Amino acid sequence: MNAATRALRAQGLPGLHALADRVMDLVRAETRLGRLLPLNDPDRDLRLAESAAVKILRQAADTVDGTRVATCRLTPAEDGTDVRVTMTLDAALDHPLPDRVQQVRQSVLHSAAQDLGLAVTAVDITVVDVLQPWPPRSPGPPTAGGT
């Protein structure tokens, strides 16, 4: 055991620097979680990291064909129990824009309530760019040529 300990000590501090770097990376990741948002539970004891909520709500919005989320922000209400979602979208114009925005809003509201248990008071959406329409999704498997 003593020989192994001396051998490790002889290797110097780089291992300790690597360990310190890993610890600091974890600390930095922890601070990137953002605010803790209250979930819609009766006791208001449960919380969700803002970064996790944003990721799930962005995914919900991106499920609507012809849209892509540019930004997503969550703002807690003054009483701290509800959240307001503010999104910017890129959208294709192959369908009426108000209908497409409403689909995104409904998808976000559904995901917030069903997937997260987050009480959302409003979903404000601004379209900031135009996308070229995607070709329709094929229901069958891809062909041998990869398309």
The DSSP string of 80-138 is SS-EEEEEEEEEESSS-HHHHHHHHHHHHHHHIIIII---EEEEEEEEEEEEPPPPPPP
pLDDT of 61-101, one tens digit each? Answer: 999 999 999 999 999 888 778 899 999 999 999 999 999 99
User: What pLDDT does 101 receive?
Assistant: 97
Supply the pLDDT for residue 6.
73
Task: Determine the pLDDT at residue 9.
Answer: 67
Q: Tell me the pLDDT tens digit for each residue of 90-134.
A: 999 999 999 999 999 999 999 999 999 999 999 999 999 998 866
Amino acid 11: pLDDT:
67
Q: What is residue 30's predicted lDDT score, i.e. its pLDDT?
A: 55
- Per-residue model confidence as pLDDT tens digits over 26-36: 666 555 667 88
Rounded to two decimals, what is the model's pTM?
0.68
